[in-house]
Amino acid sequence: MNRFPLCLLALVVAVLLAPAAFAAADELAVFTPLAEIVGAPQRFADQFVSVRATFQGWHNAPGAPPVTRSDWVVQTPDGAAIYCTGKFPDTLRPEDPGARGRAVTVLGKVCLSRSGQPYLVVSEVEATQPTLERMVSVSQILFDPLGMQGRTVGLLGVLSKGYGHRGNRIYLLADPTGAITLERLPKLYPKGTILRLRGLVGTDENGLPIVKNVEIVSAKP
């Protein structure tokens, strides 16, 4: 009996695996990075795109609302933000503080305002299930900022306060391994408060790690 040629066997395996490989590539390609749209709006003008981001309501607005006063904002961990106009996500409303930071996927058409500001005319939007946070130490974020970026994490530490390079007041969470900046707090707490929180790892304007969309799980004086 003739043996099945190895080269033909390899070809068959490649053909069988190809659909899975292409499916994985398609899944990665289906979402357009929001930073690319914001950075080169003319390139995407009048195109339909899908983006993954977090719902910000009327916060972190990139300028004035382009269409109506009800236009709402989505943002990614790298700080890129864009207005959406039209349909709201089910169960999420801009005036609800608990809605901020929820992950959403948006399908919409990229349009430009008179000033050239990009915005999305929403065709479909869906709020995805919140990601369960993984408890980490501050050093895990500081030593691997790229690997941790965009992840929802849990942290336990002591609230501290300091000043940024512009002299602005900043809030820090410190644990035995280090300290990290918090973008903002939903409620002000005294210095020294022990906080357990969840938030999204991102970067600030200087490219340094920061915890965004902070939600306080518990607080002890």
Give the predicted TM-score (pTM) of the model.
Answer: 0.55
pLDDT value, residue 9: 35
pLDDT, tens only, 86-131: 888 888 888 877 778 788 999 999 999 999 999 999 999 998 765 5
Low-confidence ranges of the chain (pLDDT < 50): 1-29
How far is Cα 35 from Cα 43, in angstroms, rounded to an integer?
12
Tell me whether domains 34-127 and 134-220 share a fold.
Answer: yes
**Domain segments of the chain: what residues?**
34-127, 134-220
Level-2 CATH architecture, domain 134-220: Beta Barrel (2.40)
Place domain 34-127 in its CATH homologous superfamily: Bacterial OB-fold (2.40.50.200)
pLDDT value, residue 154: 92
Tokens for 127?
């709020």
> 155 to each of 27, 65, 144, 197, how far by Cα in Å?
31, 34, 15, 5
pLDDT value, residue 66: 94
Buried b (16+ CB within 10 A) or exposed e, 183-194: bebeeeeeeeee
| Helix/strand/coil for 23 | helix
Nearest to 159 by CA among 139, 179, 141: 179
pLDDT value, residue 78: 80
